[in-house]
A = this chain, B = another copy of it.
Amino acid sequence: MSEKKYIYTFKEGNKDMKNILGGKGANLAEMTKLGLAIPQGFTITCQACLDYFKDPVGFIEKIRTNIMDNIKGMEVESGKTFGADKNALLISIRSGAPMSMPGMMDTVLNLGLNDKAVVGLAEETQNERFAQDAYRRFIQMFGDVVMGVKLEHFERILDAHKKVKGENTQDTDLTIDDLKKIIEEYKILYKKEIGNDFPQKPIDQLFFAIRAVFDSWNTRRAVTYRKMNKIPDFGTAVNVQLMVFGNKGWDSGTGVAFTRDPSTGEKKKFGEYLSNAQGEDVVAGIRTPKKIEEMKDEFPNIYKELMETMENLEKHYRDMQDIEFTIENRKLYILQTRNGKRTPQASVKIAVDRFKEGLITKEEAIMSVDPNIVSNLLFESIDEKKADFSKFLAQGLNASPGAVFGKVIFEADDIVELEKEGDLDIILVRPQTKPDDVHGLFAAKGVLTQFGGKTSHAAVVARGMGKPAVVGAQIIEIDVDNKKFTVKDKVIKEGDFITIDGTTGKVFEGKMPLIEPELTSEFQELLSYADEIRKIGVRANADTPEDARKAIEFGAQGIGLCRTEHMFMDVFRLPTVQKMILAKTDEERQEALDKILPMQKGDFYQIFKIMAGKPVTIRLLDPPLHEFLPELETILLEHQELKLTNGPKEEIKDREKLIAKIRSISEENPMLGLRGCRLGITWPQINEMQIKAIFQAACDLKKEGVDARVEVMIPLIGMVSELTHVKNDLVKIAKEVIDSYNIELDYLFGTMIEVPRAALTAGEIAKEAEFFSFGTNDLTQMTYGFSRDDAEGKFIPIYLQEEIMKENPFEILDQEGVGKLMKMAIELGRKANPNLKLGICGEHGGEPSSVIFAHDIGLDYVSCSPFRIPVARLAAAQAAILEKKKSM
């Protein structure tokens, strides 16, 4: 039985040893292997951490000699001595698990300092202030991070000293004497809190720190995080590394650099540095950092070395790198390299450039771009560099992305008036929106509501139109009567400008500076790579001809969800729709439906024409009918007012009838009520009208030589008997229409899978359906048993905060629960009907991790709102690449 190897020097490891050395340790070893100047040191393995927990005291004793041997090695290499008064070896201690994890011990710097070594350091650097400050920081960091003394205790001491010196004193204004006094007070605090003196022996400091890193692996927060993220209990490594200082004098310095411009993606090194400074000084912003190019004059050799290093690192890591470096006495040290953060624009440009430069493959180019951010390229956004964020007014829900500014207007009708006058910069602000407001939404640039969730009427309509929307900003109080809204004591009147950012849900006063979106040629090119690679189709959720046009523009291969309810909500049609609902006789109802038919037919005609040759999945009417009627509350209050004020008898009677009707069709839980196919079963005339409109439109086009590809989708099926009941009648009508044109027309009939029972009995349903489309919005609601509107407003924020949920399941598909139902449905469905086509048309269809899941479980396509199509195309390609990797 060979002894386990618990310690590796940086020279012994490489990047593939993450499970042994942790991420940080493996990376330090890798860079050492590349021959870069890395402050040397060693890594105590993850296995050591696990063995430590079995017998903490015994284990530390067991590896003590081993650790000290490695410290010796660092002494030899650096020519410094650990624990010496002069030329002391100073080290940093850092945790590093195989996966990045919050809740673990961070960093202790300057370990090795004590009352004597600080004097030595001052002499060596000729900079006593630097030395004393380093010591102060060490005590604070050690006390806080290693021993658990609350940081605020230290800060209270520091603040007290600063206050004495005046209002705006900075850390840097503290003198050597101040620092010495602070150090003394820190030590007293330490003793009071811990019971012992601050340890003067570096060897004690070292072992305290190592144990603290190990212990941090099992803090409650870390354990919870692992449990939630299903991270195995593989322990954390400990990295012990030589300190280097960029503030040892004017032949020292520190900086950060990117191998390409992180803002534009341009192929040009980009960075900043400061001489005689350490990292914090750059952040503090007291001295203005110099551009990296200036190093050419100041440190010509080092500049050359740095440039070469960066080139090599980018090649080696196959991505743009963000590098931290320090120059200590004219020697360059690389402290860290990582894939550089970049703007969405840069991300795309870098990926395409690097592929063209032959540095990476197409697959790598695709994998290097985060699909989550590319949708931002399609919307206006707030220019963060120029923006004045003190104008912040309120946080709402980010219901439809994009930023926009405009004048606040409270009534839809007023907007239409203003539009006629040519005033287009308008934001509709409402407590909530109703179908009646749609014409205002059409004319406005964006919408802000006080109430409602991401599936509220305003949100859905705005997303459909691609207009920014912030909803449920409950902190604003809207007073429609007096045409103003207030946020705490701030008043915004009608006509005042505000900016809403539907991407973040933020609302600002006035006009914020915006960045125009740009669909660059690189972006188009990247998406063309994605299309070559991806296996899963991408369709759009599109309800109108405008949507369909956008869908085509963004590369949709069809429409996966055409909701017909918005066709009913149109301001000119709504009165007829209401007449249809309120009809007293079948004849009256049919009369109204006969009027609606040509309107719907016209919509379908346009959509089919735009999508010629591509499938269009039309969902029959889904929402509960009371959504088309005025709100009960309004009518009740009107009714009472008329009565109390002796209003016209006729009007009172009208209200009474309307109240009775609304009551008779309103529901306790509309989400679980008379909607979807249930509507079609109880009010079959509506479905029949829709089928006629669809097939007449398709047949007209066919006659004109346009290939309309119809897919009819029946919503909210829970039992196969519902589907057969509805389908049998509709297929008959479809056939009648087609026969009356004397042509042939292929079409499909299918169903949404959005009710848990549909997934559970998918085998039966698949025998009657030609396709399934997973409606993951409803499926999520019913699987979790909570309504999106209520949950997002009320308890999901608390769940996220308390870490009961990792993510909002309406944004990121819940693979464990909802996904399990989907897998079950796919398996049962395909078994019963091998030709079954499978798609997803919930909003998850445009969310990257969900698109990858959709690929993995074998769907044929995803469908998402037009603006998410590029996201889906990219994510779909990533899914194909990931699958290939897994199978390798």
Contacts and interface: CB of A to CB of B under 8 A. Distances in A.
B672 A670 contact: no
Interface string A657-684: 0000000000111111110001001100
Nearest to A717: B785
A59 interface: no
A678 B795 contact: yes
A843 B818 CA distance: 26
A783 interface: yes
A802 interface: yes
A716 B633 CA distance: 31
A288 interface: no
A722 B804 contact: yes
Q: Looking at A673, A716, A789, which has the most chain B CB atoms within 10 Å of its CB?
A: A673
Contacts of A669: 669-672, 787, 789-790
Interface residues of A, number: 57
Contacts of A804: 681, 719, 721-722, 725
A81 to B, nearest CB: 50
A817 B757 contact: yes
A786 B637 contact: no
Given A681-B802, A761-B817, A795-B682, A673 B640 contact: no
A803 interface: yes
A785 B681 contact: no
Interface in A751-790: 754-757, 760-761, 778, 781-787, 789-790
A798 interface: yes
A706 B520 CA distance: 78
A636 interface: yes
Highest count of chain B CB atoms <10 Å: which of A754, A786, A805: A786
Given A640-B637, A718-B817, A760-B821, A670 B668 contact: yes
Contacts of A783: 718, 755-757, 760, 782
A760 to B, nearest CB: 5
A586 interface: no
A794 B674 contact: yes
Nearest to A726: B804
Contacts of A667: 787, 789-790, 794
A569 to B, nearest CB: 18
Contact of A791 (B637, B673, B794): B673
A678 B786 contact: yes
A820 interface: yes
A585 interface: no
Copies in the complex: 2
Interface string A708-727: 00000000101101100100
B673 A790 contact: yes
Nearest to A794: B674
Given A672-B672, A785-B718, A790-B667, A760 B798 contact: no
A721 B805 contact: yes
Contacts of A782: 756, 782-783, 785
Given A645-B644, A799-B681, A785 B794 contact: no
B798 A681 contact: yes
A716 B789 CA distance: 18
Given A718-B817, A761-B816, A798-B681, A787 B668 contact: yes
A228 interface: yes
B674 A756 contact: no
A739 interface: no
A363 B859 CA distance: 52
A782 B789 CA distance: 16
Contacts of A821: 756, 760
A124 interface: no
A668 B718 CA distance: 22
A-side interface mostly: helix
The listed residue with most B CB atoms (<10 A of its CB), out of A673, A757, A791, A795, is A757
Given A756-B821, A821-B760, A682 B798 contact: yes
A12 interface: no
Given A633-B633, A681-B804, A790 B668 contact: yes
Given A633-B636, A681-B799, A783-B756, A805 B719 contact: yes
A641 interface: yes
Contact of A673 (B719, B794, B803): B794
A790 B668 CA distance: 7
Contacts of A755: 783-785
Interface string A564-607: 00000000000000000000000000000000000000000000
A313 to B, nearest CB: 40
Interface in A834-880: none
B785 A756 contact: yes
Given A671-B672, A790-B672, A790-B674, A760 B795 contact: no
A767 to B, nearest CB: 10
Interface in A60-108: none
Nearest to A798: B682
Interface in A633-649: 633, 636-637, 640-641, 644-645
Contacts of A633: 632-633, 636
Contacts of A787: 667-669, 672-673
A755 B778 CA distance: 14
A725 B802 contact: yes
Contact of A795 (B637, B674, B719, B798): B674
A790 B678 CA distance: 12
A215 B817 CA distance: 48
A794 B637 contact: no
A803 to B, nearest CB: 7
Interface string A790-819: 110011001100111100000000101110
Contacts of A637: 636-637, 640
A385 to B, nearest CB: 39
Contact of A817 (B672, B760, B805): B760
Contacts of A757: 783-785, 814, 817-818
Contacts of A682: 794-795, 798
A378 B789 CA distance: 45
A227 to B, nearest CB: 8
Given A754-B785, A755-B784, A757-B783, 10 more contacts: A667-B790, A667-B794, A669-B787, A672-B790, A681-B802, A682-B795, A725-B804, A755-B785, A756-B783, A760-B820
8 contacts: A641-B644, A667-B789, A668-B789, A672-B785, A681-B804, A716-B785, A719-B805, A756-B783
For the complex of A and B, 7 pairs with smallest distance between CB atoms? A672-B787, A669-B787, A673-B790, A757-B817, A755-B785, A669-B669, A756-B756
